[in-house]
Each structure stands twice: as structure tokens, then as C-alpha cells.
């Protein structure tokens, strides 16, 4: 039993260490002001174009994933079906952004199977994937 609790503590410490590293990385990345400004334009444009896309999103503010990948969001329509919602919507529910009366976060399912693969195939088609470190 003693070894076991040491193991559990070690896992917890490692886990917390990883979490700390991740949050530090996300918070301290330096971005040039002109790049920041370009990103602001992208955000504003995306926000605006979503008003003209077919958007039935289930979280508020509405997800961006479905706009970028699919040109519209059916997550509010799909939330109570077997199809489920996109990953951004799913995590949005867990962050308290859910916006469909009568639905509980714990009951929300994410996309799975062919539908999930199709969405990410579309994502690959639209984006080239810059995963390099700065
Ligand atoms: Zn959505
Ligand atoms: Zn979505």
C-alpha cells in the first residue's frame, strides 16, 4: 500500500508539472504586434461572416470550428441526435457556454465515427498545418 501511495503522489506531481508547463507555454508566447493585429482582423472578419453563414450553434459565443471547416454550424440541431456536436462546442458546454434550453453538459456528445473523420478531412483540405515552434 505504501508503494502504491508514493506512486500516486509521483503521478500527481508529474501531472501537475505538465499542466503548469502547458499553461505557461500558452500564456507567454510572444507575438509581434503586427501579427497580433492581423489576428485581430481575422477574428473580426470571422465574427462578421458568421452572421451571414447558416449558424445554429449550441454555445454562446458561437463556435468557430464549424465556420472554418464547414461554412456553417448545425450543432444546435444535432445536439439531441446521434450525430453530436463539434469538439469546440463540446468543450464549450463543459466550460459553461452551453446555450440550448433543457440540455445538460453531461449529456452532450461529440462527433464520432465517419462524421468526425469527414470534419477533420475538411479541416486538412482548408488548412496547411503550421505546427512549427517559434
Ligand atoms: Zn457551433
Ligand atoms: Zn460547432
Do the beta carbons of residue 63 and residue 86 sit within 8 Å? yes
Ligand nearest to the CA of 50: 1
Instruction: Kindly give the distance from the C-alpha atom of residue 126 to the centroid of ligand 1, in angstroms, as a whole number.
Output: 18
Instruction: Kindly give the distance from the C-alpha atom of residue 61 to the centroid of ligand 1, in angstroms, as a whole number.
Output: 9
Instruction: Kindly give the distance from the C-alpha atom of residue 130 to the centroid of ligand 2, in angstroms, as a whole number.
Output: 22
Q: How far apart are CA 5 and CA 26, in angstroms?
A: 32
The percent helix, strand, coil of the chain (3-state, each to 5) is 60, 5, 35
Selected residue with higher pLDDT from 129 and 40: 40
Left if phi > 0, otherwise alpha if psi is -120 to 50, otherwise beta: which for 23? alpha
- Residue whose entry in the numeric block shows the C-alpha cell 500558452: 26
pLDDT of 10-59, one tens digit each? 554 555 555 555 555 566 678 999 999 999 999 999 999 999 999 999 99
Instruction: Kindly give the distance from the C-alpha atom of residue 58 to the centroid of ligand 1, in angstroms, as a whole number.
Output: 6
Which pLDDT score, from 0 to 100, does residue 132 have?
66
In the chain, where the domains are located: 2-128
Instruction: Kindly give the distance from the C-alpha atom of residue 44 to the centroid of ligand 1, in angstroms, as a whole number.
Output: 17
pLDDT of 88-126, one tens digit each? 999 999 999 999 999 999 999 999 999 999 999 999 999
Instruction: Kindly give the distance from the C-alpha atom of residue 63 to the centroid of ligand 2, in angstroms, as a whole number.
Output: 5
Instruction: Kindly give the distance from the C-alpha atom of residue 130 to the centroid of ligand 1, in angstroms, as a whole number.
Output: 24
Instruction: Kindly give the distance from the C-alpha atom of residue 53 to the centroid of ligand 1, in angstroms, as a whole number.
Output: 11
Instruction: Kindly give the distance from the C-alpha atom of residue 73 to the centroid of ligand 2, in angstroms, as a whole number.
Output: 6
Pick from 129, 131, 91: which is nearest to 111 by CA?
91
Q: pTM of the entire structure?
A: 0.75
Q: How far apart are CA 4 and CA 133, in angstroms?
A: 38
Amino acid at each position: 500500500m505504501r508503494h502504491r501511495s508514493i506512486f500516486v503522489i509521483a503521478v500527481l506531481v508529474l501531472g501537475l508539472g505538465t499542466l503548469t508547463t502547458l499553461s505557461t507555454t500558452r500564456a507567454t508566447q510572444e507575438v509581434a504586434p503586427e501579427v497580433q493585429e492581423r489576428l485581430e482582423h481575422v477574428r473580426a472578419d470571422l465574427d462578421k461572416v458568421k452572421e451571414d453563414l447558416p449558424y445554429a450553434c449550441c454555445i454562446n459565443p458561437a463556435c468557430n470550428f464549424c465556420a472554418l471547416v464547414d461554412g456553417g454550424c448545425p450543432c444546435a440541431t444535432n445536439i439531441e441526435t446521434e450525430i453530436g456536436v463539434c469538439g469546440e462546442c463540446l468543450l464549450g458546454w463543459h466550460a459553461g457556454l452551453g446555450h440550448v434550453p433543457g440540455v445538460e453538459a453531461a449529456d452532450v456528445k461529440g462527433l464520432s465515427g465517419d462524421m468526425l473523420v469527414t470534419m477533420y478531412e475538411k479541416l486538412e483540405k482548408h488548412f496547411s498545418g503550421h505546427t512549427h515552434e517559434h
